[in-house]
Amino acid sequence: MQRMEPTPHLSYSPRAPLSATLSRRSVTIAIVLALTAFLAMVGPIFISSLANIFWETKAATYLPPADQLALQYDAANGTYIVPPLPSCWRHLDLGAGRQGLILLHRMQCDNNDPVLVAVSVSGGTSALGGTGIMLITSVQSREHRPVPFNTQWRALEWAAGASRVTIQVAKPDPADPSHFTFTGEADGIRHDMDGWLRADQSLLISERDTRQ
């Protein structure tokens, strides 16, 4: 005769009350809604920050073509011609607007932290009266935002009164991260310019003395 195994004892937990189930669902829904609201608020800021970092990195190392112009002025018709900007410059328009951008590059003076330097050029009326061409400069650091702008007229005094002016984009000095150069021409006369980032994060821009 076959021996029968005893039937195992089954123990069932009592069913959770309906109120507890609804409470857990409410908590889950609240967490999901809070997370969705947080992502909706922070997401665009995070994406914008990533985009800025990307374009800052591009601009910091961008080297324009040797013959690229920043601005061309013709007094015969009173027009300022500004060539299209490279994409990395357009996305980081540091107040240049419709002006010509001469320089947008990472620079460093001595052992200071690197900064993003912008130099643009624009036509306008000087504080002393008369039409001329001015430089607008800014130095952007991680600790200094928004970026202040400085206007310099004297650096381009050679352009005042000229009937035709062209200014080329600047070239960073590969041997000195605090130095850049650019050239301009007024009525057929060439002018070589030097720019220096100083320890106080100001810019000194002046014409090079080519006299022998």
- pLDDT higher than 70, residue 11: no
Q: How confident is the model at residue 148 (pLDDT cuts 50, 70, 90)?
A: low
How high is the mean pLDDT of the chain?
Answer: 75
Show the domain range for 66: 61-207
Q: What is the pLDDT of residues 110-121, one digit of tens each?
A: 888 888 888 888
Portion of the chain with pLDDT greater than 70, in percent? 68
**132-143: average pLDDT:** 72
Distance CA 34, CA 32 (A): 5
Question: Is 76 a domain residue?
Answer: yes
Question: Is 14 a domain residue?
Answer: no
What pTM did the predictor assign? 0.69
- pLDDT higher than 50, residue 2: yes
Helix (H), strand (E) counts: the chain: 2, 11
Question: Is 85 a domain residue?
Answer: yes
Distance CA 181, CA 195 (A): 6
Distance CA 104, CA 138 (A): 10
Question: Is 4 a domain residue?
Answer: no
Distance CA 194, CA 210 (A): 12
Distance CA 173, CA 179 (A): 5
Token pair 């070589």 is found at 192
Question: Is 38 a domain residue?
Answer: no
The number of folded domains in the chain is 1
Question: Is 36 a domain residue?
Answer: no
Question: Is 13 a domain residue?
Answer: no
Question: Is 130 a domain residue?
Answer: yes
